[in-house]
Amino acid sequence: MSSDQMVYEALLVAQAEGEPVALATVVSAQGSVPRHAGSKMLVRANGSIVGTIGGGKLESQVIEESLAALQDGKTRLNTYTLNDMAAGDAGICGGTVQVFIEPAGQSPTVLVIGTGHVGRALAELAKWAGYRVVISDDRPEFCTPEYLPGMDGYIACPPGEIAAHTNISSQTYVAAVTRGLPVDIHLIPALLATEAAYIGLIGSRRRWTLTVEQLKAEGGITDEQLARIHAPIGLELNAETPHEIAVSILAEMIMVRRGGDGQPMRPIKVRQP
């Protein structure tokens, strides 16, 4: 199997498992350079690689930029000049390489914690919308392919332990549609310790007020951290049914992901008295 074939295979596995990786591709090469245009390298979040674009200083710089791309989710098109043998450049007479770096295999994931009526409806809706969906519940019978088919992951564990069982990255949108305050006290600190792009908690304003009071009483959680939590979860649609509530939750997730403001698309006409 060639180097590029190994890269493609590793990329497919990463996409299937939701692993954050970056794909670096040589798009142009001039002069004496170690690899030709089209050469590829896969970079994992821990800095390990599959394939190579030539080794030396070039490769280390591309790995560094790839890790940065995984953090901010942005592509890069960088030009590197190979002319410093002392620094490990692989070029003999010098050359220039242009490398395109793109985050890949990191499909936005909706993590639904609690698979009652609302959680089930949200998981189905998010899957329909094209997200990778992982569900979790502390009741094993509510966290199986038989109960909710077609999901990308099933994690039966106490809510407060979820971060130990799945990767919650900057591309993860978490909906905690759990059953009550005792669960929140253990779950919220665990979620705040992650880089989740969105953390939402279902329930009334009173439930959230009581949760905040309890978390502050136990210490260690700041107002700045708590500001990351969307509680009550979702946009205000006056939703009533589980499916309507699921729409309001997913709408807020999309708003956060896309940088929207949640306002109507058309101006609201004000009636004159």
pLDDT in tens, 51-103: 988 888 888 999 999 999 988 778 999 998 876 555 444 444 567 889 999 99
Q: How many CB atoms lie within 10 A of CB 242?
A: 16
* Single-letter amino acid code for the residue at 255: M
Query: How is residue 110 written in tokens?
Result: 């909706």
| Distance spanning both ends of the chain, measured CA to CA | 76
The mean pLDDT of 112-130, rounded to a whole number, is 97
User: Is 18 a residue whose pLDDT tops 80?
Assistant: no
The mean pLDDT of 197-204, rounded to a whole number, is 94
- The domain ranges of the chain are 3-104, 109-258
CA distance 177 to 208: 13
The mean pLDDT of 119-124, rounded to a whole number, is 98
Residue pair 40/7 in contact (Cβ under 8 Å)? The answer is: yes
Task: Give residue-wise pLDDT tens across range 58-72.
Answer: 889 999 999 999 887
Q: How high is the pLDDT of residue 55?
A: 81
Task: Give, for 217, the enclosing helix (H) or strand (E).
Answer: helix 205-218
The DSSP bridge pattern shows strands 229-230 and 76-82 to be unpaired
Which CATH code is given to the segment(s) 109-258? 3.40.50.720
Three-state secondary-structure class, residue 259: coil
Q: Comparing C-alpha atoms, which of 208, 207, 122 is closest to residue 173?
A: 122
Q: How high is the pLDDT of residue 17?
A: 76
Residue pair 234/249 in contact (Cβ under 8 Å)? The answer is: yes
